[in-house]
């Protein structure tokens, strides 16, 4: 049993504020006791100075996009589709060893940002030319090993990707690396992945993903949804990130992407719609009434000029909000959380659409639920994943600790990833005083991994 003492802690319940002097006991992977209002640090307790919150969950990641940061900003005028050409250049160059190195460093960057779980939306499965590796899951296993080394949980969302687009059965030379040929072969490969040793680790689990309605035909949407239901596994899908996707889907099927996914059985409590940027009133009702999660990725959505999704309407309809750094233009879930609200203000002309505690809950419990982890709350029985934000040495957060009523609001609206002091995953310290305890030089690890990919 380990005893921790948090000066200030928010347990993750949006209706309960920050408490002072919170003793947390953990045993192995789990929290066994949470007691607020303790005035003396218990002997032998590990001190968590600052504001401790449930571990943040990054519900949407493509680890290899970390190689694009900065590089895509020089391309001048362009849109999502021209950005995708640059992204495909990186995708075309990766091999299991270079991808492992990049993912390990990228996940270590996430750990430093207070992220304790990642949802890796993984579609880079096969060799150049589309031939499977000797182990057809070499890439997926590498990603799980990378997360393990970086000390964070991973839900590997193994992604089905079968065609170039509506009416485009052919894949382009990069996209052939993404495809298993048909959905039955996708399911066989994922079954082999789930049987592997990595998947039995307490910090790894397997989920499924439908890349998009462009890339997965209707019968395969149903097959992937059925697989996820049979396995009780998380099911993620890109939905309506771009108006062009909606137009093509309507022209080809007479339905919106959300309606098509609903008809295929892909919505519901285990489902997460990523982006949901361009959704109409019927789509919002379908996502909300089915209690589907919606994963907003505002730093990516603004980087790619996608647009602003209707966060408040989706939440009011019943959808569960979670957050992702997606293309890793930045890795900072505080920025993602405040961007949801600040973008909504620009779009509506109103302030205070989503309160700070609900935004922090989206970054923690919302993401944990989307990824299938019993985390996101500091309470007995939950996984012992938590993050401590330094309030004493951060110039941005100076004074935030003096008023527990506004401490979470300070964190959501002013903290950065660099303000994270301590990160604990499954009762184990991963980041201490802002330093990763396993990957000792994360910037160097990133630089080395990125240099190996330089064109
Ligand atoms: Zn994505």
Residue 455 has what pLDDT? 62
Residue 199 has what pLDDT? 66
Distance 4 CA to ligand 1 centre (A): 36
Residue 201 has what pLDDT? 85
The residue-averaged pLDDT of 334-341 equals 98
Predicted confidence band at 16 (pLDDT cuts at 50, 70, 90)? confident
Predicted confidence band at 72 (pLDDT cuts at 50, 70, 90)? confident
Residue 211 has what pLDDT? 98
Catalytic residue list contains 390: no
Distance 50 CA to ligand 1 centre (A): 33
Residue 348 has what pLDDT? 95
Residue with the bigger pLDDT between 177 and 75: it is 177
The residue-averaged pLDDT of 66-72 equals 84
The residue-averaged pLDDT of 336-351 equals 97
Distance 195 CA to ligand 1 centre (A): 26
Predicted confidence band at 77 (pLDDT cuts at 50, 70, 90)? low
Distance 362 CA to ligand 1 centre (A): 18
- Annotated active-site residue in 7, 283, 303, 326: 326
Distance 298 CA to ligand 1 centre (A): 12
Alpha-carbon distances, residue 268 vs 1, 174, 213 (angstroms):
37, 32, 17
Is residue 62 predicted with pLDDT exceeding 70?
yes
Distance 390 CA to ligand 1 centre (A): 31
Distance 62 CA to ligand 1 centre (A): 6
Residues 6+ apart with CB under 8 A from 454: none
Classified as helix, coil or strand, 351 is coil
Tokens 């002097």 map to which residue? 21
Predicted confidence band at 76 (pLDDT cuts at 50, 70, 90)? low
Distance 186 CA to ligand 1 centre (A): 19
Residue 75 has what pLDDT? 59
Task: Please provide the distance, in angstroms rounded to a whole number, between the alpha carbons at the two ends of the chain.
Answer: 50
Report the alpha-carbon distance of residue 385 to residue 231 in Å, rounded: 25
Residue-wise DSSP of 53-74: EEPEEEEEE-GGGGGGTTGGGG
Distance 409 CA to ligand 1 centre (A): 28
Is residue 70 predicted with pLDDT exceeding 90?
no
Residue with the bigger pLDDT between 24 and 91: it is 24
Catalytic residue list contains 158: no
Comparing CA positions, the residue from 337, 438, 432, 430 lying closest to residue 385 is 430
Distance 373 CA to ligand 1 centre (A): 20
Residue 19 has what pLDDT? 96
The residue-averaged pLDDT of 184-192 equals 96
Residues 6+ apart with CB under 8 A from 118: 57, 58, 61, 107, 110, 147, 152, 153, 154, 155, 371
Query: 235-239 and 420-425 as β-strands: parallel, antiparallel, unpaired?
Result: unpaired
Comparing CA positions, the residue from 215, 214, 143 lying closest to residue 186 is 215
Tell me the pTM.
0.97
Residue 90 has what pLDDT? 86
Distance 65 CA to ligand 1 centre (A): 9
pLDDT tens, position by position, 22-56: 999 999 999 999 999 999 999 999 999 999 999 99
Phi and psi of 26, rounded to 5°? -125, 150
CA angle 124, 128, 131 (to 5 degrees): 85
Report the alpha-carbon distance of residue 49 to residue 248 in Å, rounded: 52
Distance 155 CA to ligand 1 centre (A): 14
pLDDT tens, position by position, 163-184: 999 998 889 888 999 999 999 9
pLDDT tens, position by position, 411-442: 999 999 999 999 999 999 999 999 999 999 99
Q: Could you tell me if 381 and 30 are in contact, meaning their C-beta atoms sit under 8 angstroms apart?
A: yes
- Annotated active-site residue in 65, 122, 238, 275: 275
CA angle 240, 325, 108 (to 5 degrees): 150
pLDDT tens, position by position, 237-251: 999 999 999 999 999
pLDDT tens, position by position, 347-380: 999 999 999 999 999 999 999 999 999 999 999 9
The residue-averaged pLDDT of 443-451 equals 96
pLDDT tens, position by position, 263-318: 999 999 999 999 999 999 999 999 999 999 999 999 999 998 999 999 999 999 99
Q: Could you tell me if 18 and 51 are in contact, meaning their C-beta atoms sit under 8 angstroms apart?
A: yes
Continuous segment of H or E residues that includes residue 30: strand 30-35
Mean confidence (pLDDT) of the chain:
95
Distance 238 CA to ligand 1 centre (A): 6
The residue-averaged pLDDT of 187-212 equals 89
- The share of the chain scoring above pLDDT 90, in percent, equals 87
Predicted confidence band at 87 (pLDDT cuts at 50, 70, 90)? confident
Residue with the bigger pLDDT between 409 and 75: it is 409
Report the alpha-carbon distance of residue 431 to residue 424 in Å, rounded: 7
Joined together, the tokens standing for residue 452 give: 């190996």
Distance 36 CA to ligand 1 centre (A): 39
């Amino acid at each position: 049993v380990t005893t921790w003492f948090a000066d200030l802690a928010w347990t993750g319940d949006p209706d309960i504020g920050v408490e002072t002097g919170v003793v947390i006991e953990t045993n192995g992977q789990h929290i066994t006791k949470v007691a607020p209002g303790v005035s003396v640090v218990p002997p032998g307790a590990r001190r968590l100075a600052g504001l401790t919150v449930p571990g943040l969950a990054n519900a949407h990641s493509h680890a290899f996009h970390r190689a694009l940061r900065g590089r895509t900003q020089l391309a001048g005028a362009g849109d999502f589709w021209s950005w995708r050409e640059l992204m495909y250049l990186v995708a075309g160059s990766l091999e299991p060893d270079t991808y492992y190195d990049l993912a390990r460093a990228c996940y270590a960057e996430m750990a430093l940002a207070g992220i304790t779980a990642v949802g890796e939306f993984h579609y880079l499965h096969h060799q150049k030319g589309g031939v499977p590796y000797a182990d057809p899951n070499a890439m997926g296993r590498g990603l799980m090993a990378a997360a393990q080394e970086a000390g964070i949980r991973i839900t590997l969302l193994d992604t089905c990707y079968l065609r170039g687009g509506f009416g485009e059965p052919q894949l382009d030379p990069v996209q052939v690396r993404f495809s298993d040929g048909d959905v039955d072969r996708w399911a066989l490969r994922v079954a082999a992945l789930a049987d592997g040793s990595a998947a039995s680790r307490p910090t790894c689990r397997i989920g499924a993903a439908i890349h998009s309605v462009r890339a997965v035909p209707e019968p395969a949407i149903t097959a992937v949804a059925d697989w996820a239901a049979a396995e009780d596994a998380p099911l993620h899908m890109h939905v309506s990130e771009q108006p062009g996707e909606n137009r093509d889907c309507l022209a080809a099927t007479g339905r919106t992407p959300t309606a098509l996914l609903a008809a295929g059985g892909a919505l519901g409590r285990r489902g997460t719609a990523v982006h949901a940027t361009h959704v109409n009133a019927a789509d919002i009702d379908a996502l909300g009434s089915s209690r589907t999660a919606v994963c907003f990725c505002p730093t990516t959505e603004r980087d790619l000029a996608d647009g602003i999704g209707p966060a408040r309407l989706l939440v009011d309809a019943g959808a569960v909000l979670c957050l992702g750094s997606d293309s890793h233009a930045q890795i900072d879930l505080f920025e993602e959380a405040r961007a949801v609200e600040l973008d909504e203000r620009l779009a509506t002309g109103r302030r205070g659409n989503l309160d700070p505690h609900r935004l922090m809950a989206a970054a923690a419990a919302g993401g944990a639920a989307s990824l299938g982890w019993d985390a996101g709350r500091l309470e007995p029985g939950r996984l012992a994943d938590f993050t401590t934000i330094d309030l004493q040495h951060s110039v941005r957060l100076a004074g935030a600790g003096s008023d527990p009523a506004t401490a979470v609001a300070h964190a959501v609206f002013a903290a950065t990833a660099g303000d994270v002091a301590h990160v604990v995953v499954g009762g184990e310290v991963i980041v201490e005083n802002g330093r990763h305890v396993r990957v000792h030089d994360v910037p160097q690890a990133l630089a080395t991994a990125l240099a190996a990919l330089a064109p």
